[in-house]
Structure 1
Amino acid sequence: MPASPPVRLEIPRIGVRTSLMTLGKNPDGTLEVPPLSRVDEAGWYRLGPAPGATGPAVIVGHVDSKQGPGVFFRLGDLRPGDTVKVSRQDGTQATFSVDSLESVRKDRFPTGKVYGMTDFPGLRLITCGGTFDQGSGHYLNNVIVYAHLVSPR
């Protein structure tokens, strides 16, 4: 599919329906995440491929906040074969099928596996998970879902 910014994300199995904000990098070079004031909305990493274009498109969202569950609260419930739909600015929809998911320690984040170029249209969904560290105020892990394009329309 030609590149077109994503505007909406739907994951039927876990009840996600969200608009998508555009994200970049923080001043320290790390991936920008949605603000905690908008935990019910996911964001697309605009410095990578658009969903449906060749390469690994990345969408991130919060698992929760002090106020309650975030948009990706149930991301870890996804299973291979589940469907992820991304509506794009050009009016097309990219439908992906989940291949796998993993929970990895943040200090062992698989950067190459997540962001490394692929020869197919892929999708990565990322949130926090694992144990919550009260001292730092952060989760110790990331939950990462890997998916591939099955139906452009």
Structure 2
Amino acid sequence: EDGARSWRRVLATAETVLDVQQSPHDPALWIATTQTDGVQISRDGGLTWKKIDALPSAEALYNVAFDPRDPRRVAISSWTYGVHTSEDGGVTWTERNAGLPAEHCAFRVGIDPDTGRLYASIYRDALFVSDDFGRTWRNDGMPDATVYSFVFIPKAAK
């Protein structure tokens, strides 16, 4: 509003914020993950934030991924609690760890914009893939690897 001459805190947490993402479908919808204070959601473009109480908050929640094809689908990775998904734009959340190692340690999640396939990087384990948005997982190779970031190049851009 003033050309970035002044700033104000908008997140309702003093904890370290690990990731902040804006929905590609709704510019008003933002989700932020924190180190030990859970997940915060904004439905007004980041002006106000509310903690998502349905998600765990004691351990690091690393990142959030919006599905580029479906505005209702969002995934979050967590060190202790694995992968959680929402299929209603972040209103409700479901733990999705069937087929992941017992010690989930989900470091990153990513969603392929062409297929909707969900990927999870499991710390020191491998890359896991789900074709049903986290209901089941399979190991996609890369043993003993930790993926720190996902970058997808849409087929239309190739």
TM-score between the two structures when normalised by the length of structure 2: 0.29
More strand by share: 1
Larger radius of gyration: 2
The structure with the greater share of residues assigned to helix is 1
TM value normalised by structure 1: 0.29
